[in-house]
Structure 1
Amino acid sequence: MADSRPEPPPRRFVVQLHRARRLHYDFRVEVDGALVSWAVPKGPSLDPKVRRAAFRVEDHPMEYVDFEGIIPAGKYGGGDVIVWDAGTWVPYKDPDPAAALAAGELHIELRGEKLRGQFVIVRTRNDDWLLMHKRDEYAVPGFDPAALPLSVLSGRSSDEVRDDPELMWRSDLPAAEAAVPLKAASHTADGPAADDDELAELDKLGSSGRWHVFGRELRVTNLDKVLFPGRPPVTKREILRYTAQIAPTVLPYLQGRALNLHRFPNGSDAAGFWQKALPGHAPGWLPRWREPESGTEYLVADEPAALVWAVNFGGLEWHPWTSLTDRPELPTYALVDLDPGPDTAWADLLALARLHRTAFEHLGVAARAKVTGRRGIQIWVPVERGPTFAETRAWVERLSRSIGAVVPDLVSWAWERSGRAGLARLDFTQNAVNKTLVAPYSPRPAAGAPVSAPIDWDELDDPGLRPDGFTIRTIGARLAERGDLFADVLGRPQRLPPLH
């Protein structure tokens, strides 16, 4: 008589091709809300004559089931990962998978794109496991998993994911947050920026009013006030419009960080001043962080409306801390600031930047450069949390001294305030708690509203490159064409190599 019992609900499974110290396949099946996992060096097979050695590893959270990207070097499992196969499974012998595992013999039926049919995974006497396919209609003699190398999730190869990853797994974060995007949202009209209706609402307001944007109601004021000269002049309304369009792109560089606002409440003709503490009239919904030592309450731009509020408040420049609020004493970036002297030629500053480019290439260190929107060039180097500010400052100083020794007639040092003022300063002192560099895409208080614009390293060879050549009116088209050239620094922690 046929078994009339209902089939148990399907569970998920995934096989990830994982290149860490050695290439292997991670075979994972859902059991009681977790992914029970084995490393299978030669990969699963559909050939019933083949027995694959499998080594039980720690269970993984369910959030890992569709992870495809990279695990940082130096972390457990560091390397690239693709979803080689995925689907669902049901038990076909023992209805209690947890009990079957404890007994050392799990029978499963896979319903994937590459793997189908009945498998059994059996614990051996020495506590290793064997993975085998049963003789059924899905059996394939001579099956070679290496002949099917592409991801079923993206269609990409391991090399393609390694060279252009979209996600990084951070095992130090909660599972729901551990798959960290490596690419900022692109700046497009149909993206997560303020939509046409929200921008039209801003355009229709008088000199002041209530603006509904990003799910918040903001009081905006002095909208027709000229903040920067230009043709035509740049008004506060235009700066707010730019902020609403750029906020989703710039937000990943600000989230989780205290924000120092360089305020120009009276426009660029007046001297700006640093606004650290939030004012008493700041709305209660604003994300904020209180510094333990001083008690100062900082704005944390964890949502785009917070940045729009800051600009209306006069915060026309955005300077995030280089550490996160949960561990403010540990930097996530090392900073190189190429600061021109009053008489420094732009060509000399470019030469210094190209020397840094060569140094980073030689060291195998990921770093990204941007023009400041004023006169300089800045380089951000993402670092793994662990080294202190003193250690990152010492590393940047050693790097700068090595480069300065090549061109001693071009550089002065952070502590030199006179005598060599015409030379470019290599300023490593910015690597300290609450020392900041301007965020990418931040406006600068000058004619035409230039922005701090990320550049490709190759653009250092472009004779047309200028430090203030990109403005709030031109950067959108550049983003649409080239994407966010700074995104490589996001979620890419790395250990700084020793310098000798």
Structure 2
Amino acid sequence: MGSLRFVVQLHRARRLHYDFRLEVGGVLVSWAVPKGPSLDPKVRRAAFQVDDHPMEYVAFEGVIPAGTYGGGDVIVWDAGRWVPYKDADPAAAVGRGELHIELHGEKLRGKFVIVRTRRDEWLLLKKRDEFAVDGWDAGACPLSVLSGRTSDEVKADPEWFWRSDLPAAEAAVPARSRTPTIEADTEGLDAIKENGTWEVFGRSLRVTNLSKVLFPGLPGEEPVTKRELLRYTAEIAPTLQPYLAGRALNLHRFPGGADTKGFWQKALPAHAPEWLPRWTEPGSGTEYLVADEPAALVWAANYGGLEWHPWTSKVDRPDLPSYALIDLDPGTGTGWEDLVLLARLHRTAFEHLGVEAFAKVSGRRGIQVWVPVERGPGFAETRAWVERLSRSVGAVVPELVSWAWEKAERGGRARLDFTQNAVNKTLVAPYSPRPAPGAPVSAPIAWDELDDSALRPDGFTIRTIGARLAARGDVFSGVLRAAQRLPKL
């Protein structure tokens, strides 16, 4: 039998422990070793057998999102190859409760034995050989053999997240924030005088009325034309498209521009190009746009869709949300400072619960929070969870709060709306324009920005958001990787 892979991952979840994993039969047979392996033959380490892990996990180093199985930071503390030196069939040896192994790692070398004492409880022991070291302790060797970093460094700046709700081959997702990549031929757009065909993202798109004013200008600024909106859409599409992929898209259309009355359009028009990705809703037969490629979003903007609203569920299971939504809107008697206070209280609640949530200013008057969830609970459950959470927050400042079934103006109080957690009810997408002067966008924010007195709900526009992305990256990208189970309240 040839050598097999092994890894020891230092894992800080609810408690620090070392995950000792051996390749056996195409999976990683795994034990949690609270005090870590030792090269000292006099030391016996308690080990607790846990679920087998997929081989794709063997080189994982990063963060498992809070609220999911094993949530915490992980480093590759040791890795290498191993061979059985007494057992021709390691799987059978594990089944019998005694496995003799020879490790060829960077920290662990030589012969070991792992012996079951009762059910899932085992002992890990080092044999006396040339690699034995009296008094050797794992805690004296804290660095990753993969990156040379400590657990604290990986936690502060992870390169990968592990999504246990995804297939193993796709579960390790990049953690580093994306910055926008301009792949569209905006020079081709500039070459069109008023009407023409624009080759964008590999598609031929007929564009019209490029000099038409769609958004009034802010004081001292020029108005925003259709050409400028299409250019922005092409530039932001690579960053935005992952938030839209696999989801039906509702469009808030303003064919006459932002200062005219808009209307909702859900069904694709009959003249929509054949290449557009689409989905037909069971039962209603309504055919929706699905922006599975960047050119589809550019088409939507050219069609007069100034606001983009993706469903919170995907088309393969429209009954199962992947986000829980919290919508904070001011009333006539509450100011922006009051709304920021409510958002800070939600921030504190999430920290207390260990829940990852991501905020954005709405681009108009409010603040919205997206909480990524593992698919499984239905809309009734996510709606009830958000209602309980918001009621707990509202109880702290009852004088500021009204509820979803009350008018926002009742007493001038702010509105905590949990009713958006329903099939085909949506909040505006991150980076979507809003129909107001200057073309403000719904901009993601980091939680600490709630403490910045300069923050405003409509303070970022299609003219300024690009510089913010270049400087800070996409601070909302955790929504795409942090699926989690909602804790009981």
For the aligned pair, the TM-score class normalised by the smaller chain equals: 0.7 to 0.9
2:205 to 194, 209, 219: 219
- Say whether 1:278 aligns with 2:268: yes
One-letter amino acid matched to 1:83:
V
- Say whether 1:209 aligns with 2:201: no
TM-superposed CA distance for 1:409, in Å, is: 5.0
TM-superposed CA distance for 1:421, in Å, is: 7.7
Query: In the aligned structure 1, how far is the partner of 2:14 from the partner of 2:409?
Result: 53
Contact 1:185 / 1:248 at 8 angstroms: preserved in 2? no
SS at match of 2:471: helix
Q: Per-residue displacement from partner, 1:20-75 (whole Å, max 9, x unpaired)?
A: 45433222233443323333333233345555454444432121112223445565
SS at match of 1:459: helix
TM-superposed CA distance for 1:375, in Å, is: 1.9
Aligned to 1:300: 290
1:228 to 212, 215, 236: 215
Contact 2:17 / 2:34 at 8 angstroms: preserved in 1? yes
Query: In the aligned structure 2, how far is the partner of 1:352 from the partner of 1:30?
Result: 50
TM-superposed CA distance for 1:475, in Å, is: 1.0
Aligned to 2:163: 170
Aligned to 1:322: 312
Matches within 5 A, 1:61-100: 61-72=54-65, 75-89=68-82
Q: 1:77 to 1:212 in 2, by over 3 A?
A: same
Matches within 5 A, 1:147-166: 147-162=140-155, 164-166=157-159
Q: Per-residue displacement from partner, 1:324-361 (whole Å, max 9, x unpaired)?
A: 33433233333222223457543443344344445445
- Say whether 1:378 aligns with 2:378: no
Residue correspondences, number: 482
SS at match of 1:369: strand
Aligned to 2:238: 248
TM-superposed CA distance for 1:451, in Å, is: 0.5
Q: Which blocks of at least 5 consecutive residues in structure 1 are unaligned?
A: 1-7, 188-192
Moved more, 264-273 or 60-69: 264-273
One-letter amino acid matched to 1:451:
V
Contact 1:184 / 1:249 at 8 angstroms: preserved in 2? no
TM-superposed CA distance for 1:494, in Å, is: 4.2
TM-superposed CA distance for 1:430, in Å, is: 1.5
TM-superposed CA distance for 1:456, in Å, is: 3.2
TM-superposed CA distance for 1:256, in Å, is: 3.2
Matches within 5 A, 1:337-348: 337-341=327-331, 345-348=335-338
The alignment yields a C-alpha RMSD, in angstroms, of 3.5
**Alignment TM-score, normalising by the size of structure 2:** 0.84
Q: Per-residue displacement from partner, 1:407-459 (whole Å, max 9, x unpaired)?
A: 55544443334973854333222222111111111111222211011223343
One-letter amino acid matched to 1:225:
K
Moved more, 471-480 or 176-185: 176-185
Query: In the aligned structure 2, how far is the partner of 1:87 from the partner of 1:273?
Result: 61
Contact 1:184 / 1:252 at 8 angstroms: preserved in 2? no
1:463 to 433, 453, 470: 453
Q: Per-residue displacement from partner, 1:200-224 (whole Å, max 9, x unpaired)?
A: 34433443223142xx323141244
TM-superposed CA distance for 1:478, in Å, is: 1.4
Matches within 5 A, 1:296-445: 296-341=286-331, 345-361=335-351, 363-404=353-394, 407=397, 410-417=400-407, 420=410, 422-445=412-435
SS at match of 1:305: helix
One-letter amino acid matched to 1:221:
V
SS at match of 1:218: strand
Q: 1:400 to 1:221 in 2, by over 3 A?
A: same
Q: 1:234 to 1:136 in 2, by over 3 A?
A: farther
Q: 1:443 to 1:36 in 2, by over 3 A?
A: same
TM-superposed CA distance for 1:263, in Å, is: 2.4
TM-superposed CA distance for 1:399, in Å, is: 4.2
SS at match of 1:45: coil
Query: In the aligned structure 2, how far is the partner of 1:398 from the partner of 1:40?
Result: 38
Q: 1:105 to 1:381 in 2, by over 3 A?
A: closer
Query: In the aligned structure 2, how far is the partner of 1:448 from the partner of 1:460?
Result: 23
SS at match of 1:65: helix
Query: In the aligned structure 2, how far is the partner of 1:403 from the partner of 1:29?
Result: 47
1:29 to 22, 28, 46: 22
Moved more, 332-341 or 432-441: 332-341
- Say whether 1:199 aligns with 2:191: no
TM-superposed CA distance for 1:484, in Å, is: 2.5
Query: In the aligned structure 2, how far is the partner of 1:77 from the partner of 1:408?
Result: 37
One-letter amino acid matched to 1:256:
G
Q: 1:119 to 1:211 in 2, by over 3 A?
A: farther
- Say whether 1:119 aligns with 2:111: yes
Moved more, 77-86 or 402-411: 402-411
TM-superposed CA distance for 1:479, in Å, is: 1.9
TM-superposed CA distance for 1:15, in Å, is: 1.3
TM-superposed CA distance for 1:16, in Å, is: 1.0
Contact 1:92 / 1:109 at 8 angstroms: preserved in 2? no
One-letter amino acid matched to 1:245:
E
One-letter amino acid matched to 1:483:
G
Query: In the aligned structure 2, how far is the partner of 1:290 from the partner of 1:140?
Result: 66
Contact 2:327 / 2:416 at 8 angstroms: preserved in 1? yes
Contact 1:90 / 1:108 at 8 angstroms: preserved in 2? yes
Query: In the aligned structure 2, how far is the partner of 1:219 from the partner of 1:420?
Result: 47
SS at match of 1:242: helix
**Alignment TM-score, normalising by the size of structure 1:** 0.82
Percentage of identical aligned residues? 72
Contact 1:46 / 1:143 at 8 angstroms: preserved in 2? yes
SS at match of 1:152: coil
- Say whether 1:60 aligns with 2:50: no
Q: 1:49 to 1:364 in 2, by over 3 A?
A: closer
SS at match of 1:435: coil
